[in-house]
Amino acid sequence: MHAFDVFSHYERTHWRLTDIDFDKVDRSLVEPEYVTLAKSAVMGECNSIAATHGFFNEFVDDYDFSAFAAIWGYQELQHHYAFKTWLRAIDEDVDERPVEAMREPYAPGSTPSATLATNIISELTVNHVYRAVADWVREPVLQDILRRASRDEAGHAREFIHYTKERLARRPQELPSVLETLYVYTSEARIKHPVSLFKDSLVEGGDHETIDTGFEVFLEKVADEDELQKLHAKVRSAFGSMTGLDLTTGARIRRALAGALS
């Protein structure tokens, strides 16, 4: 069972909230954008509850992946609490009402493989953003949290890729849904994230941050001019390696999709 190996690795490398010295937060280095980014991260990471629930519903016949989902959910909840604790250390907090609004489980994807593919994109996106933001912020405790979370997200992407490859080997008929998912998330000149597409409408109009707020700060303050292209290239490369297809451009994704459907 692959999840057992993941759990064993997690036991050896796992960090704890108590490993972070929140008493060392340097308020003099905190910029308003840092607060916005942390609140946005709290809103994004709180969706692990809804996602874990959705995984258990959709993968009721797959104990191995469900075991991994439980491990994943714990780590994502840890990220949520780490950013929340940092905010409390500077006397900021997140309104619990929009967090509560995110609780409803995600609906199943068009196929289970599409659900897994969506999460590959999610993990690679957040890994990229967290790592870049960690290099940009000057407050050391927030920087530490971002780097820890970024490393976790890279590991999560690796495992979602494993489970997607394993499922496609058993159910190759689900390949078109994976390619369609890739195209949807990388065909526009903006960062698209599952929380943005499926959850932000639940809390729009309120006086609070969403995950998109953080992406906007990232693109405006942190990202290079070609940052979005680099992110999309990273995602397409991961899917190309996973499927053995040339998916380096939108046109090639469409061509691969047409071939998979024929």
pLDDT of residue 205: 45
Assigned fold of 27-261: Ribonucleotide Reductase, subunit A (1.10.620)
Q: 199 near 104, Cβ under 8 Å?
A: no
Q: 67 near 2, Cβ under 8 Å?
A: no
Half-sphere exposure of 67 (CA within 13 A, CB side): 12
pLDDT of residue 104: 86
Report how far apart, in Å, the C-alpha atoms of 181 and of each of 31, 126, 242 are: 36, 17, 14
CA–chain centroid gap for 172, Å, is 25
Q: Tens place of pLDDT for every residue, the chain, 262 residues? A: 999 999 999 999 999 999 999 999 999 999 999 999 999 999 999 999 999 999 999 999 999 999 999 999 999 999 999 999 999 999 998 888 888 988 988 889 999 999 999 999 999 999 999 999 999 999 999 999 999 999 999 999 999 999 999 999 999 999 999 999 999 999 988 898 887 777 666 655 456 788 899 999 999 999 999 999 999 999 999 999 999 999 999 999 999 999 999 8
Following DSSP, what letter does each residue of 106-133 receive, concatenated?
PPP-SSHHHHHHHHHHHHHHHHHHHHHH
* Per-residue pLDDT reduced to its tens digit, 152-178: 999 999 999 999 999 999 999 999 999
Q: Indicate the residue type of 17.
A: L
Q: 206 near 98, Cβ under 8 Å?
A: yes
pLDDT of residue 194: 81
Q: What CA–CA distance (Å, rounded) separates 105 from 56?
A: 10
pLDDT of residue 83: 98
pTM: 0.94
